[in-house]
């Protein structure tokens, strides 16, 4: 970790403030700071809220109608986390001003979380927009500080500050538009938000740390998986209250845990840090593409919650509908795991053919729900994920042994 005695980080006010300069991209042993971990926890509430709202749509048999609002609200959650994470990777000074501005951003996240239900059901983004205004006042202040104290990155930092501010004005103005303009205005402004980093980094790439970024994304994956565990647990609790501890309830709950554990294992089988270090130009592709990874895992939590409730007999949603509420997020996760890592590494740990076979099996299983029931569907999906994990581990060991044998000969 860089110390205050480093020439590049001489204290402006000892014990209070450091000069904000770009962190070294090759800094050794760079890990997430306690402040970053605390910041991540503010997103727990928001993710739980949006997953709960989607679960309600699925339970009512209106899953298709809930997809659009879910993806829009989840974009707001994901993009807020993204903006903080990449700035912190490049400019985290961890001094008093930095911590206080992060506190302001955390407050904005909590306001955003409070607005999730109204944003989902009524498409009213007032609270979410207010949360963003709070976050972006702090975020723009950070970029302005970086521009003032880090001359080498001044142009890029000012582009970020200006771009973020202009797009936020657009989000505020969107609140005055009629409801029928909601979707297209959202798409336009979301595209503008995504374009700001692409435009800003054209004048010089910020000094983000590849292994730090890979770790941050891994930690957020764990948070989203944790919310899925919490959602399934909530379903179990409600199921027990309704009909007691039944065999279908226990079967689906146990399978849900196995499924989530297998997906966690699969995600961390593919190393990303070294790939990002070797292919920094692919950072936008990899970073933006994770929207679908995170969104699919949160949606899976909603599907598992409904599956547990269906297994307990609390709801009457058709088994095939609930089955696909589990299968589709798993399929999206598997495909995106392949798509995002394939350009980064010379050889994928999880073989593409195995992902194709597993994805096809997962998507076909709900069709058999009239025969095997919802329990059989969830057990089957969990079994496919577990089998893919086991096959990959054995295959990786085999390839490593072959490589070692070849080197020795």
Pairwise CA distance, residues 127 & 119, whole Å: 8
Number of structural domains in the chain: 2
Let me know if residue 10 belongs to a domain.
Answer: no
* Mean pLDDT score, 245-258: 86
**Helix axis angle, 247-269 relative to 369-408, nearest 10°?**
30
Q: Is residue 1 part of a domain?
A: no
- Average pLDDT score over residue span 331-344: 95
In degrees and rounded to multiples of 5, residue 108 shows phi and psi of -65, -40
**Cβ count within 10 A of residue 330:** 26
Q: How far apart are CA 112 and CA 171, in angstroms?
A: 14
Rounded to an integer, the average pLDDT of 273-296 is 93
The answer to whether residues 260 and 340 belong to one domain is yes
pLDDT for res 292: 97
- What's residue 15's pLDDT? 63
What is the chain's length?
409
Is there a domain that residue 281 lies in? yes
In a domain, 126, yes or no: yes
| 268, 130: one domain | no
> Which domain-ending residue is among 144, 175, 203?
203
Residue 13 lies in a domain: no
Going from the C-alpha of 255 to that of each of 28, 118, 201, 385, the distances in angstroms are 40, 33, 44, 11
- Shared domain for 216 and 199, answered yes or no, is no
Domain closes at, from 150, 168, 203: 203
- Is 12 in a helix, a strand, or coil? strand
120 contacts 74 by C-beta, under 8 angstroms? no
Query: Are both 169 and 311 inside the same structural domain?
Result: no
Instruction: Tell me, yes or no, whether 290 and 385 share the same domain.
Output: yes
Mean pLDDT value across residues 281-299: 95
Handedness of CA 348, 331, 232, 230 (dihedral sign): positive
Residue ranges of E strands in 42-169? none
Same domain, 117 and 236: no
Distance set, CA 119 to CA 41, 379, 388 (Å): 21, 34, 37
Structural tokens at position 6: 């480093």
Is the pLDDT reported for residue 391 higher than 50?
yes
Q: What is the pLDDT of residues 197-241, one digit of tens each?
A: 999 999 988 999 999 999 999 999 999 998 888 877 777 777 777
Please tell me the predicted confidence (pLDDT) of residue 3.
39
Tell me the per-residue pLDDT of 30-85, one tens digit each, with 9 for 90 and over.
889 999 999 999 998 889 889 989 999 999 888 898 999 999 999 999 999 999 99
Tokens found for residue 161? 């500050």
CA angle 155-159-161, nearest 5°?
A: 115
Domain-ending residue, one of 203, 228, 261 = 203
Question: If pLDDT is split at 50, 70 and 90, which confidence band does 90 have?
Answer: very high
* Cα–Cα distance for residue pair 363/361, rounded to 1 Å: 5
pLDDT at residue 6 greater than cutoff 60: no
pLDDT band at 2 (very low <50, low <70, confident <90, very high): very low
* For residue 192, pLDDT beyond 80: yes
What is the percent of the chain with per-residue pLDDT over 90, rounded to a whole number? 65
Residue 53: which of 119, 129, 112, 109 has the closest Cα?
A: 119
Report which DSSP code applies to 313. Answer: T
Full domain range(s) for residue 336: 210-408
| Dist CA 19 CA 12 (whole Å) | 6
pLDDT of 5 reads 41
Q: Which value, in Å, is the radius of gyration of the alpha carbons in the chain?
A: 23
Question: What pLDDT is stored for residue 134 in this prediction?
Answer: 96
pLDDT at 12: 58
Residues 197 and 217 grouped into a single domain:
no
> Measuring CA to CA, which residue among 62, 100, 65, 58 is closest to residue 301?
58
Q: For the beta carbon of residue 404, count every other beta carbon within 10 angstroms.
A: 10
Tokens 């607005």, residue?
A: 115
Do 175 and 224 belong to one domain? no
Interval 106-141: pLDDT, tens: 999 999 989 888 888 777 889 999 999 999 999 999
Q: Quick check: helix, strand or coil at residue 20?
A: coil
Considering the domain architecture, whether residues 80 and 116 belong to the same structural domain is answered as: yes
**d(C-alpha 317, C-alpha 58), whole Å:** 8
Task: Say how many C-beta atoms besides its own lie within 10 A of residue 155's C-beta.
Answer: 14
Please give the DSSP secondary-structure letter assigned to residue 22: P
> Cα dihedral sign for 7, 98, 94, 213?
negative
> Mean pLDDT in the chain?
89
142 and 251 share one domain: no
* 131 and 175 assigned to the same domain: yes
Instruction: Report how far residue 213's alpha carbon sits from residue 287's, in angstroms, rounded to the nearest whole number.
Output: 9
CATH number (domain holding residue 384): 1.20.1410
Mean pLDDT of 149-155: 93
Residues 77 and 47: beta-carbon distance below 8 Å:
yes
Q: Are residues 227 and 345 in the same domain?
A: yes
What is the rounded distance in angstroms from the CA atom of residue 254 to the CA atom of residue 193? 40
- CA-wise closest residue to 20 among 123, 129, 157: 157
| Encoded tokens for 34 | 């306690």
- How far is 369 from 335, CA to CA, in rounded Å? 23
Within-domain flag for 262: yes
Extract the tokens encoding 5: 């005695």
Q: Classify residue 358: in a domain, yes or no.
A: yes
Q: What pLDDT does residue 132 have? A: 94
Does 52 fall in a domain?
A: yes
């Amino acid at each position: 970790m860089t110390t205050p005695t480093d020439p590049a980080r001489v204290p402006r006010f000892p014990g209070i403030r450091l000069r904000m300069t770009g962190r070294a991209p090759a800094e050794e042993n760079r890990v997430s700071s306690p402040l970053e971990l605390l910041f991540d926890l503010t997103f727990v509430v928001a993710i739980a809220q949006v997953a709960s709202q989607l679960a309600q749509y699925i339970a009512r048999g209106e899953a298709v109608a809930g997809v659009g609002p879910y993806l829009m609200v989840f974009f707001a959650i994901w993009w807020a986390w993204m903006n903080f994470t990449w700035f912190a990777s490049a400019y985290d000074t961890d001094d008093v001003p930095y911590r206080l501005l992060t506190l302001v951003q955390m407050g904005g996240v909590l306001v955003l979380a409070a607005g999730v239900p109204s944003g989902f059901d009524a498409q009213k983004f007032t609270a979410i927009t207010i949360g963003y205004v709070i976050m972006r006042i702090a975020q723009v202040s950070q970029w302005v500080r970086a521009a003032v104290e880090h001359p080498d990155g001044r142009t890029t930092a000012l582009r970020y500050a200006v771009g973020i501010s202009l797009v936020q004005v657009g989000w505020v103005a969107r609140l005055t538009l009629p409801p029928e303009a909601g979707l297209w205005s959202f798409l336009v402004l979301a595209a503008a938000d995504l374009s700001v980093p692409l435009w800003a980094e054209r004048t010089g790439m910020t000094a983000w740390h590849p292994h730090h970024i890979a770790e941050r994304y891994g930690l957020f994956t764990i948070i989203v998986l944790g919310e899925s565990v919490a959602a399934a647990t909530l379903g179990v609790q409600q199921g027990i209250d309704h009909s007691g501890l039944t065999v279908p309830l226990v079967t689906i709950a146990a399978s849900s845990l196995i499924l989530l554990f297998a997906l966690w294992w699969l995600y961390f089988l593919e190393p990303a840090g070294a790939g990002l270090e070797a292919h920094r130009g692919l950072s936008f592709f990899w970073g933006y593409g994770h929207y679908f990874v995170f969104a699919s895992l949160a949606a899976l939590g909603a599907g598992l919650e409904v599956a547990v409730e269906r297994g307990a007999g609390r709801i009457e949603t058709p088994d095939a509908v609930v089955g696909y509420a589990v299968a589709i997020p798993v399929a999206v996760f598997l495909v995106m795991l392949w798509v995002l890592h394939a350009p980064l590494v010379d050889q994928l740990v999880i073989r593409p053919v195995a992902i194709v076979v597993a994805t096809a099996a997962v998507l076909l299983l709900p069709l058999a729900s009239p025969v095997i029931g919802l329990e059989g569907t969830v057990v089957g999906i969990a079994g496919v994920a577990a089998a893919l994990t086991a096959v990959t581990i054995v295959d990786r060991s085999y390839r490593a042994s072959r490589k070692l044998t070849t080197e020795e000969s």
